[in-house]
């Protein structure tokens, strides 16, 4: 995946991306993942070599458009089931810190 | 109960034993549990086993990103430790309805991100051919279980090559089905425009049998479609009338080992002897740009799919007080390993304002180029052949420090996956005493053709799927 493109990812970039991705990286991770991110971006940046003006993007490999289903009522989970894997709960609610 | 050689027994033979009432499904399940007890301490193919057999057919192992009601499902991640799904994935339901008792859940790279199963939060799986080497990945647990005689067959999942590549490295058969033919309902999502579930087994016929059980439209997964034709068990032992294409770029790619190339060349020669019409073709940009295209699209989709792990409704939650945002951020930092973090970061970057068009948008256009190139090649040929993996199984630890070196393991499986095409990997020989995989690529929904070609080659190749050191 060699490429001429040089990508530098600054410490601020890494912190900003981590913030967007909701990851509280440790200092060590900021260094390590930041360096790896730069190397990977440099490699994948190879896609920019191609002139693809006018080429339609592919988002999905099948030609499916609008899949319809019947609107049939079905039983949903009981509260006890829905809360079975909850790390913390309060009655029939998921408990979280103040939002 | 007759003694069962779990290393040799194919699923088809197991079904015949049950049919003739020489053995029950429960007894067969017990025989595999015994083999697991004996050999899985070394291999670590399983994350957990199921003691009670439910069903009276041949048992099955499921990759641990397939939801099983009440049975812990972790996707190889700490963030899902202790998670017990409230429902079965559709493929698990179909296996149960076919009477296949669950043997257990197999190890994988965390969230199916990896090519060696070393990214599992629960420790690596080892290759039954050489325990110092990786089984491939991400479905390395399923591949090692089948190759090591710890399951007659198994389900894996394949995004960039996670069924085909471990099947190749462990000397078994694996099918990545046409996108849309197997339900993903209840599968832990990685990259939704690529993820597919598929069979892994010792023979092509076993793969066809298992594919027949799991394939078809599922109202719970709107990306599934009905199969255009029924799946047939392959019988033909020749390739007469079949047009076989050899894409130069896939076969002469940088990094393909000499021994791998030699084994594949012999298989191509065999195609001619079996009556196929063999010719060369080109995929000028698909191989060169396939890997970079994949490493933009898959991480972008992963960064979105993995946003659901927030420590609120299920899975791991970080201790301590703080705001809800601090809870999310610490939960995710503690719960995810390095590879998911790398890919979430990469995907978030590629999708962020200012970079979207240059990275993700451009990669989607490259994907169109790849589709068109394969479509052109498959107008002239029924099947395309190449190595599945550029190398045989590599030593544990040899690529873990270098993510880009690890990504290259999938350089030959990614291009057809980007085009939504089915791919079958069958063992075609040994190099340095380790299995070499042959990749057969077909048009969308041409699984019957792949099975037919794979079966005829398998019969002619006479590869012994029992690892040499276990014979």
Q: What is the pLDDT of residues B211-270, one digit of tens each?
A: 999 999 999 999 999 999 999 999 999 999 999 999 999 999 999 999 999 999 999 999
Contact assessment for residue B330 and residue B340, using Cβ atoms and an 8 Å cutoff: no
Task: Give residue A6's pLDDT.
Answer: 60
| Catalytic site residue from B63, B105, B164, B202 | B63
Task: Give residue A69's pLDDT.
Answer: 83
In chain B, what are the domains? 11-283+371-470 (3.90.1300.10)
| Catalytic site residue from B162, B303, B386, B425 | B162
Q: Binning pLDDT at 50, 70 and 90, where does residue B8 land?
A: very high
| Cβ-nearest to B323 among A41, A60, A97 | A97
Average pLDDT over residues B148-176: 98
Secondary structure (3-state) at B71 = strand
Q: Do A84 and B371 touch (CB under 8 A)?
A: no
Contacts A24 to B, Cβ<8 Å: 326, 329-330, 332-333
* Cα dihedral B37→B41→B46→B49 (10° resolution): 30
- Closest-approach residue (CA) in chain A for B80: A85
Q: Binning pLDDT at 50, 70 and 90, where does residue B196 land?
A: very high
Average pLDDT over residues B91-109: 98
* Averaged pLDDT of chain B: 97
Q: What is the largest CA-CA distance in chain A?
A: 58
CA-only gyration radius of chain B, Å: 21
Task: Give residue B84's pLDDT.
Answer: 98
Secondary structure (3-state) at A72 = coil
- Closest-approach residue (CA) in chain A for B350: A41
Contacts B326 to A, Cβ<8 Å: 24, 97
Q: By the CB < 8 Å criterion, does B210 face chain A?
A: no
Asked if B303 is an active-site residue, the reply is: no
Task: Give residue B178's pLDDT.
Answer: 98
pLDDT tens-digit series, residues B43-82: 999 999 999 999 999 999 999 999 999 999 999 999 999 9
| Catalytic site residue from B120, B138, B139, B157 | B138
pLDDT tens-digit series, residues A62-79: 988 888 888 999 899 999
Q: CB-based contacts of B466: which residues, under 8 Å, 6+ apart?
A: B7, B8, B149
Task: Give residue B320's pLDDT.
Answer: 80
pLDDT tens-digit series, residues B319-340: 987 999 999 999 999 999 999 9
Q: Do A81 and B86 touch (CB under 8 A)?
A: yes
Question: Please, where are the H alpha helices in B148-237?
Answer: 164-170, 204-214
Domain map (residue ranges) of chain A = 1-49
Task: Give residue A2's pLDDT.
Answer: 44
Of all residues in chain B, the percent with pLDDT exceeding 70 is 100
One CATH from 1.20.1740, 1.20.950, 1.10.20, 1.20.120 for A1-49? 1.10.20
For residue B464, is pLDDT > 50? Answer: yes
Task: Give residue B266's pLDDT.
Answer: 98
pLDDT tens-digit series, residues A80-98: 999 999 999 999 999 999 8
ipTM reported for the complex, 2 dp: 0.93
Task: Give residue B356's pLDDT.
Answer: 93
For residue A31, is pLDDT > 60? Answer: yes
Average pLDDT over residues B420-447: 98
């Amino acid at each position: 995946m060699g490429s001429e493109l040089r990508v530098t990812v600054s410490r601020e970039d890494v912190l900003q991306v981590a913030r967007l991705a909701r990851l509280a990286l440790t200092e060590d991770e900021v260094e390590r993942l930041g360096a790896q991110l730069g190397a990977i971006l440099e490699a994948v940046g190879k896609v920019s070599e191609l002139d693809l003006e006018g080429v339609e993007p592919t988002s999905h490999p099948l030609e499916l458009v609008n899949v319809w289903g019947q609107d049939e009522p079905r039983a949903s989970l009981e509260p006890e089931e829905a809360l079975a894997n909850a790390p913390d709960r309060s009655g029939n609610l998921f408990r979280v810190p103040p939002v | 109960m007759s003694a069962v050689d779990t290393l040799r027994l194919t699923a088809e033979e197991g079904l015949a034993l049950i049919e003739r009432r020489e053995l029950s499904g429960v007894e067969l399940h017990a025989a595999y549990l015994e083999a697991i007890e004996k050999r899985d301490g070394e291999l670590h193919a399983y994350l957990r086993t199921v003691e009670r057999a439910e069903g009276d057919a041949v048992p099955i192992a499921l990759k641990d990103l397939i939801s099983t009601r009440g049975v812990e499902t972790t996707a190889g991640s700490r963030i899902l430790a202790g998670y017990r799904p409230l429902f079965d994935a559709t493929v698990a339901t179909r296996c149960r309805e076919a009477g296949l008792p669950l043997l257990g859940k197999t190890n994988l790279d965390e969230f199916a991100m990896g090519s060696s199963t070393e990214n599992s939060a629960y420790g690596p799986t080892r290759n039954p051919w050489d325990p110092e080497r990786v089984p491939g990945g991400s479905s390395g647990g399923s591949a090692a279980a089948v190759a090591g005689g710890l399951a007659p067959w198994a389900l894996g999942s394949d995004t960039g090559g996670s069924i085909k590549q471990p099947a190749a490295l462990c000397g078994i058969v694996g099918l990545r089905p046409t996108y849309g033919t197997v339900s993903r309902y209840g599968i832990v999502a990685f990259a939704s425009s690529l993820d597919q579930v598929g069979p892994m087994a010792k023979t092509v016929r076993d793969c066809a049998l298992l594919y027949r059980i799991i394939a078809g439209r599922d109202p719970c997964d709107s990306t599934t479609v009905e199969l255009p034709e029924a799946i047939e068990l392959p019988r033909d032992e020749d390739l007469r009338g079949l047009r076989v294409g050899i894409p130069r770029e896939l076969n002469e790619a940088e990094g393909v080992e000499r021994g791998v190339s030699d084994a594949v060349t012999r298989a191509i020669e065999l195609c001619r002897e079996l009556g196929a019409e063999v010719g060369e073709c080109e995929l000028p940009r698909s191989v060169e740009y396939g890997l970079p295209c994949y490493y933009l699209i898959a991480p972008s989709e992963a960064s979105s799919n993995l946003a659901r792990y927030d420590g609120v409704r299920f899975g791991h939650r970080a201790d301590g007080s703080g705001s809800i945002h601090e809870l999310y951020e610490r939960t995710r930092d503690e719960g995810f390993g390095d590879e998911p973090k790398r890919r979430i970061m990469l995907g978030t970057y590629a999708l962020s304002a200012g970079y979207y068009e240059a990275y993700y948008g451009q990669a989607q256009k490259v994907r169109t180029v790849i589709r068109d190139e394969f479509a052109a090649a498959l107008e002239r040929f029924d099947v395309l052949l190449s190595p599945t993996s550029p190398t045989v199984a590599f030593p544990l630890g040899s690529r873990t420090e270098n993510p880009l070196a690890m990504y290259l393991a999938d350089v030959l499986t990614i291009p057809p996956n980007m085009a939504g095409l089915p791919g079958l990997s069958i063992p075609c020989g040994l190099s340095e005493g380790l299995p070499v995989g042959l990749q057969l690529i077909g048009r969308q929904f041409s699984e019957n053709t792949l099975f037919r070609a794979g079966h005829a080659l398998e019969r002619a190749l006479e590869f012994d799927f029992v690892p040499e050191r276990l014979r």
